[in-house]
Chains A and B, each alone.
Chain A
Amino acid sequence: MPYSEKVLEHFQHPRNQGSMADADAVGEVGNPVCGDVMKIYLKIRDRRIKDIKFETLGCAAAIAVSSALTEIAKGKSLDQALKIEKDDIVRELGGLPDLKIHCSMLGVEAMRAAIAKYQAGQK
């Protein structure tokens, strides 16, 4: 299965791409040996994701997944964001090749790691 138009569009024009100097929380998962590294930056106000940015080293799917994830998560409460599943992203992207589904989990994990860090800091 080739990449969908939507995946290619996100890959060419990623949303919320870049770093964030004043992030409230940062999550990073993966490593270069496995091929994918994803980093999510969060700006949080009133337990809501006010702003989100990503940086990704990986295949086109990994980049598109990161981009789609930031779009879905932006503006959501932390509780809502924690409920985002890989299926939500795959659906948003109009499907992903089977072998690439695992990439989508990395983006979700990076965001969850960032939220967990933030919540740990709040306690």
Chain B
Amino acid sequence: MTAKKYIYFDHSATTPLDREVLKAMAPFWQADFGNPASLHLRGRQALEAVDIARERIAEFFNCQPGEIIFTSGATEANNLAIKGLVKNLRAQGWADPEIITSAIEHDSILEPIRELEKEGVNAVFAPVNGNGIVDPAAIRAAINERTVLVSVMYVNSETGALQPVREIGKLVRKAREKRHKLWLTRPLADREKKERPLWFHTDATQAVNFFNCGAQGNFFDLLSFSGHKIYGPKGVGVLYKNAKVGLSAIQTGGHQEGNLRSGTLNVPGIVGLGAAIRLLGQAGKMGEPSREQKKNTLSVAKLRDLLVKGVLKSIPNVILNTPLGQAAPGHAHFSFLGVEGESTLIALDLAGIGVSTGSACASGSLTASHVLLAMGIKTEVAHNSVRFTIGKLNTREEINKVLQVLPPIISRLRRMSPIKE
């Protein structure tokens, strides 16, 4: 199978580097190889390139360059946001913080929170409805005087469900203002050393290609994303941190990134990230996506809708788990009832088509996707799931090829099953 002919429908896992991005990165491996922390010419050149990328990214996220912390990816950014915040609060003497998140977050949110739970942090995992969408009212109801952080992802990576993050961000801000007013009314002696903070974090990894990510307009205090989901390089990501948010480093020893993330900066990666962001244009301040994002959405959604229509028409007993009315444009997540998702994945792979599955049989842990289970999908149906995520380079011909190859695969696998519908 040549790489050229292989059809790739797994853009939620990673994306190919854009040609422009590759070009932008090229000088920084060898010719401009300096360490931005060095004071000499090579260092200054590297620093300048990093600064340009930082400014560009800050512009896209409608924040200050100093609020951008470069990390190794979204996983590290999520870890830093959660553990760094709790560490900072503990250093200030807050012993009993509480974090509210959702049941459908990425493991890089859920696992750090579960680790902190063992250390006495209280955690609330807000449920989702049948469409896999978090109810802002549930978040509002969960916020209490102990809450220090609400973290809800922008777009779910498995189903593509778009979360009401702006609404949640707004209600977190309101709760913070209310808390502040209350604090002001307390007698001076009663007031604790400092007011307990309350911040909103969003993991925007799956949203940056399509949706407005302005920190101000969306009430984001913290935001994570990574380069390789936006046609940028792997191994680089960002944590946006509002200047008011106090964090403590979880990786120390080099003083980079305002002492919040030690380690020599990944200059080619950061330059590539800046170039990838530049390709996404400049989003409006009023929550509108940029022209480039709109273009991405249109072209990807057109193919996705073609795929969904074709699959539902040509294959019986399929459930579409992506809520098309409130989802990222590239996601099409199906359950082909009575067929194990990993088998479908392998059969498609052998036919030259790359997809993914939420089936336990394909996961390292042999457990079905927590996202699907949180949506109320039965375990046996979660095993049947197959996710297609369309990218900007996919074509109509590729969709047609899938529609030609997939129905016989599903019927072959169904025929092999001892359970007949």
Contacts and interface: CB of A to CB of B under 8 A. Distances in A.
Given A35-B361, A56-B418, A62 B346 contact: no
Interface string A25-50: 00010001101111100000000000
Contacts of A114: none
A56 B417 CA distance: 5
B245 interface: no
B359 interface: yes
Given A59-B359, A59-B361, A39 B418 contact: yes
A37 B368 CA distance: 16
B380 A63 contact: no
Interface in B360-415: 360-362, 364, 366, 368, 378-380, 383
Interface stretch (A7-15, A71-79, A85-93, A115-123): A7-15
A32 B361 CA distance: 12
Contact of A35 (B360, B378, B417, B419): B360
A60 B366 contact: no
Interface residues of A, number: 25
Contacts of B380: 32-33, 35
A58 B347 CA distance: 13
* Residue with the greatest number of chain B CB neighbours at <10 A, chosen from A14, A60, A63, A99: A60
Given A12-B350, A32-B380, A55 B340 contact: no
Contacts of B361: 35-36, 58-59, 61-62
Nearest to A19: B418
Given A33-B379, A99-B366, A60 B418 contact: no
Contact of A56 (B350, B360, B416): B416
Contacts of A23: none
Nearest to A9: B350
Interface string B321-353: 000000000000000001110110011001000
A99 B383 CA distance: 16
B346 A57 contact: no
B65 to A, nearest CB: 43
Contacts of A28: 418
A25 B350 CA distance: 34
Contact of A62 (B340, B362, B378, B379): B340
* Best-surrounded residue of B339, B368, B417 (most CB of chain A within 10 A): B417
Contacts of A19: 418
A27 to B, nearest CB: 11
Contact of A37 (B342, B359, B366, B419): B419
A17 B416 contact: yes
Q: How large is the interface on B (under 10, 10 to 19, 20 to 34, 35 or more residues)?
A: 20 to 34
Interface string B130-158: 00000000000000000000000000000
A19 B268 CA distance: 58
Nearest to A110: B418
A14 B418 contact: no
Nearest to B363: A99
A33 B339 CA distance: 12
Given A12-B350, A35-B360, A35-B383, A55 B342 contact: no
Nearest to A30: B418
A82 B364 CA distance: 31
A59 B350 contact: no
A39 B420 CA distance: 12
B195 to A, nearest CB: 48
B372 to A, nearest CB: 13
A19 B416 CA distance: 9
Nearest to B357: A59
Contacts of B364: 99
Contacts of A60: 342-343, 346-347
B311 to A, nearest CB: 20
A32 B416 contact: no
Nearest to B380: A32
Contacts of A59: 340, 342-343, 346, 359, 361-362
A3 to B, nearest CB: 7
Nearest to B417: A57
Contacts of B340: 35-36, 57-59, 62
Contacts of A8: 346, 350
9 contacts: A3-B346, A33-B380, A36-B361, A56-B416, A56-B417, A59-B359, A59-B361, A59-B362, A60-B346
Given A11-B346, A11-B347, A57-B417, 6 more contacts: A35-B360, A35-B380, A58-B340, A59-B342, A59-B346, A59-B362
List 7 tightest A-B contacts by C-beta distance, closest first: A39-B418, A59-B361, A55-B418, A32-B380, A57-B417, A59-B342, A60-B346
